Structure 1
Amino acid sequence: MKQLIQNYKTGELQLIEVSDPLLKSQGVILQTKNSLVSVGTEKLMISLAQKSYLGKALARPDLVKQVISKIQVDGFFDAYKAVMSRLDMPVPLGYSSAGIIKEMSNVECRMSNVGDRIACFGDLFATHSELSYVPKNMFVKIPDNLSFEDASFVGLGAIALNAIRIANLTFGENVAVIGLGLLGQLTVQMLKAFGCKVLGIDISNNKLDMAKNFGADTCALIGRDDILQASLDFTKGVGVDAVIIMAGSQDNKPIEMASEISRDQGRIVACGMISLDLPRQEFFKKELKVVVSRATGPGKFDPLYENKGIDYPLPYVRWTTQRNMACFLDLISQGKVNVQKLITHRFKIDDALKGYEMILSGKEPYLGVLLEYGEVQESKKRIELRAQNTEHRTEEKMSNVEWPMSKFGIGFIGAGLHANTSLLPALKKFKKEARLIGIANTSGYKGRHAGLKYGFEYAVSDYHELLNDKNINAIIISTRHNLHAQMIVDSLNSGKHVFVEKPLCVNYEELKNIIALYDLKHKEEGLQLMVGFNRRFAPYSTLAKQLLGNASDMVINCRVNAGFVPADSWIHDSTEGGGRVIGEVCHFVDLMQYLTGSLPISVYAEATDIKGEDNVLISLKFKNGSIGTILYSSQGDKMLPRERFEIFSGKSVCVIDNFKSLFFAKDGKIKKKSSFSLDRGFNDEFKAFFVSLKEGKPVVDFKEYVYTTLTTFAIIESIKTRRPIEIDALANSL
């Protein structure tokens, strides 16, 4: 299918072919008929992307501060890699569309059926693409008397409607609308439908005329009219009851203007992207209230609402995102809002780049720009990358190639930020060992981008396509944590070796199933299963192991300045990420196992609260008598290096500081080593993986993976029960 994407690194806007989206539970596959270009937002995105690196830095000083902080902690090289990787991730354009349901999950979606006409919203859902996956709370049915063109305005309409709602207006109030672009014109029409009097303000005479045609009572032209006097004349000397700012501006003029024309106790709603350096004296004098509207209303940016379809009860949250969408379409259906008069341009999806060129150049006036889509000719489960991939063209001459048996065919699942920043750059270095065949990602544009960048032969949305490929004999899994277990099981059952990013799994039942299947497949077919505990392969970890030897009385202190993760992140979701103990503390348990050469036998943990896994103190005891503590906290400042390990043993001490330096002292002699950049072991981890495949035996005892995983489960149990947990007892229960 065709999709529009933007690259922030190169500034390139592309119409590309990607694999069809994967249907998930709680949603539908939309076959797009029309999508609306949000000319203000998308022009801003594209303009930023096309700036030089200096231009981007000047436009986003907030992000520059974050980069400087990262340089100070991780070093320039690692910070540069992270920034470039993030900039290089493609971004889909579009967030308001309409079409028909092509497929739907077996979960009831608002009594919908295949073939129903629906309008959709969401910057990852209602994109400028022929097909898209849309969760059930992010679409509504289209009234019978509306066209797809009408319905494609649903996203912008719901945004304007939400701004009106949070202004807390009553019938007959005087409202000023600053900025009469697409959102402003919709706002004017709905304010009139709500029985308000409207003062329209803009820099364009044409837009003022349009607002008058839509019912604006008075209009004022910035630069010609005295805006303050116009507002006083409009309100008989009182000032407006509310101001809704729909303009986009980098200066402070819109908020200053809004404060000047407001009455005492007035309300200001900032919907457009503006500076909010509030003029305190004016706000103090009038006791003004200002609120920044959050897109389409309650539910927006809530992953439980958007992605999982968990709705808010109507008696408690009357106007959610979805209900605002439906209300807006009803207003069009009743003739109270006219969107057809807002449409200035229509472009076929194949000509979309011409449309954006017109918008960016400003060669002709525009307002409502629609993209039109025809029928999808054929399903595309797989996108061939060989012809597009310069690396394959120059290095491998792909036609009729007979690959050497020493090369392992690799299928890679997941193309997120971690995969692009850490795993794929490391994997690409093993060209002698690996043939990178297929990459799978549910978002086709991400899989295509990573596939081209790292030299894969094709990209798919469904990972089962990789499992059915006889040329692939090893699968690498880098997805969200809740998907690991099923993908491991599917891969082993397909006769594939497996490398899975940590964690191995997120609950006991998954672990039990993996153990049983791996034992069988390893014995009968020689299949290998490796977990991505990369810290044990870091150069300073292996050096520390050599220096310390195999002592049986180690004392290890591990301190992790983990950094804050928002409470609504998928990482904290017990069903999706498993929490930070299962998802990340596992690294440090595994490293302690490696350094001590022993399995953990008991654990006790305390957290700042019984549900908290962000701030936890863990005490571990190992079978050989070694002990260790892990202090894991999200409350620290990023200026402190993230990870530090202190190991005491046999009158010696070894310190690993953030995998950038090592200090070792014994018998009064000191050894120091440091590196320009940090190395957490990703390269050596893959080296070990390919050694295990060649030699047919694991480089890490599978029992260590089991005990690391059990220990993380035990940590959570200990936090809840406030008592020590015996690991062997958990192992014996499997």
Structure 2
Amino acid sequence: MRQLIQNYKSGELQLVEVPDPILRPGGVVLETKNSLVSVGTEKLMISLAQKGYIGKAMARPDLVKQVINKIKVDGLVDTYKAVMSRLDTPVTLGYSSAGVIREMSDLQGPISYVIGDRIACFGDGFATHSELSFVPKNMFVKIPDNVFFEEAAFVGLGSIALNAIRVTNLTFGEKVVVVGLGLLGQLTVQMLKAFGCQVLGVDISEAKLKMAREFGANLCLLSDVRGPMSDVVNAIKDFTGGIGADAVIIMAGSQDNKPIEMAAEISRDQGRITACGMVSLDVPRQEFFKKELKVVVSRATGPGKFDPLYENRGIDYPLPYVRWTTQRNMECFLSLVAEQRVKLEKLVSHRFKLDEALAGYEMLLSGKEPYLGVLLEYGQKSEPKRKVALSSNVQSSPTKVEGTIALGLIGAGLHANTSLLPTLKSFKDVKLVGLADAEGFKGRHTAQKYGFAYCTTDYHELLKDNNINLVLIATRHNLHAQMVQDSFAAGKHVFVEKPLAMKLEELKQIKEVYIKSGRQLMVGFNRRFAPHTLMAKELLGKTDNLVINCRVNAGFVPGDSWIHDASEGGGRVIGEVCHFVDLLQTLTNSSPVEVFAKATDKNGGDNLVITLKFANGSIGTITYASQGDRILPRERIEVFAGSSVCVIDNFKNLFYAKDGKIVKKKAFSLDRGYAGEFKALFSSLRDGGVAIPFDSQLLTTLTTFAIIKSIKSGHSQEITLDDLVHSTQEKICIY
């Protein structure tokens, strides 16, 4: 299919061929008929992306501060690589569209759908400017029979305007000023009239004022952005009998403070001001104090927006308690259109075929023509195509690794782009064949950037490809276990990012499939291959009864992140503490046998202290904290053994001392072992042996399960591979 994307680094807009989206649970695949260009939002995004680095920095000073702090911790080189990788990421455009259901999963709910139903959709990443898109069930609604696709494509912007009206808490007959009569402003005027309000419109364009009058505005006032506001203020006072406006809804976009100052001046005592547009909110305190004004910033389409459980999982809010969610606002807006209370035909200034989209955006950015509502039109979509070839240089490679390693990558997220692929690029004898990612536009960008032969949205395409003998899995955590099993079943060797599994039953299944497969498995425990780790092992020698302190200043991750989600990320113990369990196994040359853990939150969380006992008598502690300041280097490992001490400071510095002998090593940049792990993996595939013993990888994962049990029970937990033989339902349910 074709999709409109923009590279945030260069600002370049492209219409590209990407693999069709796959159907996922709890949603539909939309075949787009029309999508609406949100002129204000999208023009702002495009303009920001087209700025140079200095321009981007000036526009986002908050991110500049984060970069400066990262430089202090990780150094200039590593920070530069990370920032460039984040910038060199494509983004989709569009968030309001309409079309028909092409595919659908089981949609449980009060409304029934069938393939071919006409639906209107909203949401970043869902209602994009693309021929097809996957849309979760809370982000689309049925289109009334007498509403056209063109009209239904306004559903996103209409719901934004409707939510701004709702949060203003209006009553019948109130006098409301709408500042800014662009697309959102014109929609707001019409809905306010339908709501029974008297509407006053303010704008700098006479043409937009004329349109607002046609839509029923009681009074329209021309505002001179360069001149005084007195004319507007006096006219509104006259219209309101000297009282002032009951409410002001700001739909204008402005970098200065004039809209909020005007709103304060024209409001009555106890008036309400709602900011929906992108405006400065430096509140004039004296005016707000004198009139005791209230100000609220409306949040897009209402409750549910920006809530991943609502948007992505389809978990609705109960209607008796949250009457107007995003989806219910969408339904309400379309009902107003169906009843002709909101008229949209006059709002459409331009229509472009998808093939003409780039020319359309050029027109918007150049300002050569006046515009308001811009619609994209889509023709009939061809047969499904979930694989897009990028190169014809796909040479056969035998299933057994005899020379060339041919790799298929599943997952093109941030970690793959910032750490894994830049490292793999240095291995010239490794062939990158296919890349699978659920988001086709990201998959295509990454595949093209690193020279993969093709990209796909269905990872089974990689498993069917006889040219691929190694599968690298870098998806979100909940997908790892099944993908590992599927890859073994297809006869592939497997490298999987941590964690190997999120549940004991998954681990048991992986063990069984691994033994039958005769293929290799490696989990991405990269720190054991870091140069400082290898040097520490060499300096320490084979010593029992080590004492190890491992401190991790992990940094804060918001509670609503997918990492904390029990069903998707598994939490930071399973998702990251496993790294340090494996590191302690490496340094002790021994297996963990017992663990005791305490956390500040009894239910787990990410502030905890773990004590591990190993089979050779060694002990180790892992202090994992998210509540520290990022200025402190992230990781520090101290090893005490046989009258010696070895310290690894954030994998940049090493200090070793024994009997007066001191060894120091300082690296120019941080090296956590990514190159080392791939070197070890490829050597084991070619020469035999294993990069990490299979039992060691199982024990690391079992230990993370035991840590969670210890925190919840308050008791130490035994760690044994017998758990994979005698598993019980109680052990499986670790949450």
The two structures have a TM-score, normalised by structure 2, of: 0.96
Q: Residue 107 of structure 2 contacts residue 137 of structure 2 at CA under 8 Å; is this kept in 1?
A: no
Asked if residue 329 in structure 1 is aligned to residue 334 in structure 2, the reply is yes
Mapped to 1, the partners of 2:717 and 2:526 lie a distance apart of 26
CA distance in 2, matches of 1:421, 1:38: 31
Letter in structure 1 aligned against 2:151: D
1:390 is aligned to none
Q: CA deviation at 1:399?
A: 7.8
Q: What does residue range 19-168 of structure 1 map to in structure 2 within 5 Å? A: 19-108=19-108, 110-168=111-169
Q: Is the 8 A contact 1:707 1:731 kept in 2?
A: no
1:471 aligns with 2:467: yes
Whole-Å separation in 1 of the counterparts to 2:102 and 2:9:
34
Q: Aligned pair 1:629/2:629, yes or no? A: no
1:733 alignment counterpart? 726
Does 2:221 correspond to 1:220? yes
Q: CA deviation at 1:263?
A: 1.6
Query: How much does 1:553 deviate?
Result: 1.2
1:355-394, Cα deviation, whole Å (9 max, x unpaired): 000000000000000000000123211111116xxxxxxx
Is the Cα contact below 8 Å between 2:397 and 2:466 reproduced in 1? no
CA contact (8 A) 2:201 2:220 kept: yes
Q: Confirm or deny that 1:665 pairs with 2:657.
A: yes
1:391 maps to none
Aligned pair partner of 2:286 in 281, 288, 291: 281
CA distance in 2, matches of 1:30, 1:299: 21
CA distance in structure 1 between the aligned counterparts of 2:375 and 2:541, rounded to whole angstroms: 68
* Secondary structure in 2 matching 1:63: helix
8 Å CA contact retained: 1:156, 1:183: yes
Task: Report if aligned partners of 2:504, 2:724 keep a CA contact under 8 Å in 1.
Answer: no
What's the counterpart of residue 449 of structure 2? 453
1:107 CA drift (Å):
3.5
Distance 1:731 1:400, change over 3 A: closer
- CA displacement, residues 595-638 of structure 1 (integer Å, 9 cap, x when unaligned): 00111111111111122321111111111111111111111111
1:2 aligns to what?
2
How much does 1:516 deviate?
Answer: 0.9
**Structure 2: how far apart are the matches of 1:286 and 1:463?**
61
Report what 1:534 is aligned to. Answer: 526
**Per-residue Cα deviation, 1:687-711 (whole angstroms, up to 9, x for no partner):** 1111111123212111111111011
Partner secondary structure for residue 614 of structure 1: strand
Q: 1:279, CA displacement in angstroms?
A: 1.7
Return the alpha-carbon distance in structure 1 between the equivalents of residues 235 and 529 of structure 2: 71
List aligned pairs for 1:423-572, cutoff 5 A.
Answer: 423-432=420-429, 434-522=430-518, 527-572=519-564
Deviations 1:242-273 (A, max 9, x none): 11111111222222221221222221111111
Q: Please name the residue that 2:732 is paired with.
A: none
Q: Secondary structure at the match of 1:613?
A: strand
Q: Deviations over 1:183-212 (max 9, x none)?
A: 111011111111111111111111111111
Aligned-pair CA distance for 1:730: 3.6
2:271 to 235, 252, 266: 266
The equivalent residue for 1:376 is: 381
RMSD between aligned alpha carbons? 1.4
Conserved 8 A contact 2:352-2:377:
yes
Opposite residue 323 of structure 2, the aligned amino acid is R
Residue ranges of structure 1 left out of the alignment (5+ in a row): 388-397
8 Å contact 2:21–2:438 — kept in the other structure? Answer: yes
Does residue 596 of structure 1 match 2:596?
no
Query: How much does 1:457 deviate?
Result: 0.2
Q: Are the aligned partners of 2:183 and 2:347 in contact in 1 as well (CA < 8 Å)?
A: yes
* Deviation for aligned residue 1:732: 5.5
Correspondence for 1:200: 201
The 5 A counterparts of 1:407-422 are 407-422=404-419
Moved more, 551-560 or 216-225: 216-225
Partner residue, 1:647: 639
- When normalised by structure 1's length, the TM-score is 0.96
Q: In structure 1, what is the Cα distance between the partners aligned to 2:382 and 2:14?
A: 20
CA contact (8 A) 1:528 1:697 kept: no
For residues 46 and 124 of structure 1, the distance between their equivalents in structure 2, rounded to whole angstroms, comes to: 16
1:171 pairs with 2:206: no
Cα distance in 2 between the residues matched to 1:557 and 1:345: 65
2:358 match: secondary structure: helix
| One-letter amino acid of the counterpart of residue 136, structure 2 | P
| SS of equivalent to 1:313 | coil
Contact 1:386 1:458 (C-alpha < 8 Å) held by counterparts: yes
Aligned length: 719
Measure how far apart 1:401 and its partner are: 8.1
2:604 alignment partner AA: G
| Rounded Cα–Cα distance in structure 2 between residues aligned with 1:217 and 1:687 | 73
Paired with 1:568 and 1:411, the residues of 2 have a C-alpha distance of 31
Paired letter, 2:613: K
CA distance in 2, matches of 1:79, 1:719: 35
The residue aligned with 2:730 is none
Give the aligned residue type for 1:362. Answer: G
- Residue type matched to 2:175 in 1? N
Using the alignment, how far apart are the partners of 1:733 and 1:629 within structure 2? 28
1:254 maps to 2:259 = yes
- Structure 2: runs of 5+ lacking an equivalent: 728-735
Q: How far does residue 551 in structure 1 lie from its aligned partner after superposition?
A: 1.3
The whole-number CA distance in structure 2 between the counterparts of 1:254 and 1:543 is: 63
Q: 1:614 aligns with which of 606, 609, 617?
A: 606
CA contact (8 A) 1:28 1:134 kept: yes
Tell me the equivalent position of 1:182: 183
CA–CA separation in structure 2 for the residues paired with 1:727 and 1:215: 73
CA contact (8 A) 1:120 1:154 kept: yes
